[in-house]
Amino acid sequence: MKVKLLTTISFFTYQLSISQTEKLLHGKVVSQNNVLKGVEVINKTAKTSTTTNALGEFAILVNVKDSLIFFSKDYFFSRLKVTSQNIEINNLVVNMVLKPEELDEVVITKIKFPKIEYDAEAIAEINMEKQAKDLRRFIPVYDGSIPNGMNFGAIGGGLFGLLKKDKEEPKKKIPEMDFKKLIATTVPETFFIKDLKLTSEEKELFLQFCDADLKSKMLLEHPNILATMDFLTAKNDEFKKLKTEPKN
Q: What pLDDT was estimated at residue 51?
A: 95
What band does 79 get if pLDDT is binned at 50, 70 and 90? very high
pLDDT for the residue 41: 95
pLDDT at 128: 72
Task: Specify burial of residue 91 (Cβ count, 10 A radius: 0-12, 13-18, 19+).
Answer: exposed
Residue 109 has phi, psi (to 5 degrees) of: -115, 130
pTM comes to 0.48
Residues 145-203: tens digit of each pLDDT: 555 555 555 555 555 565 555 555 555 544 456 888 888 888 888 889 888 888 888 88
How sure is the predictor about 25, in pLDDT bands with cuts at 50, 70 and 90? Answer: very high
What CA–CA distance (Å, rounded) separates 178 from 155?
A: 46
Domains of the chain with bracketed CATH = 12-95 (2.60.40.10), 179-244 (no CATH)
pLDDT of 35 higher than 70: yes
Mean pLDDT lowest among 107-116, 162-171, 183-192, 207-216? 162-171
Mean pLDDT lowest among 7-16, 36-45, 128-137 = 7-16
Residue predicted with more confidence, 169 or 46? 46
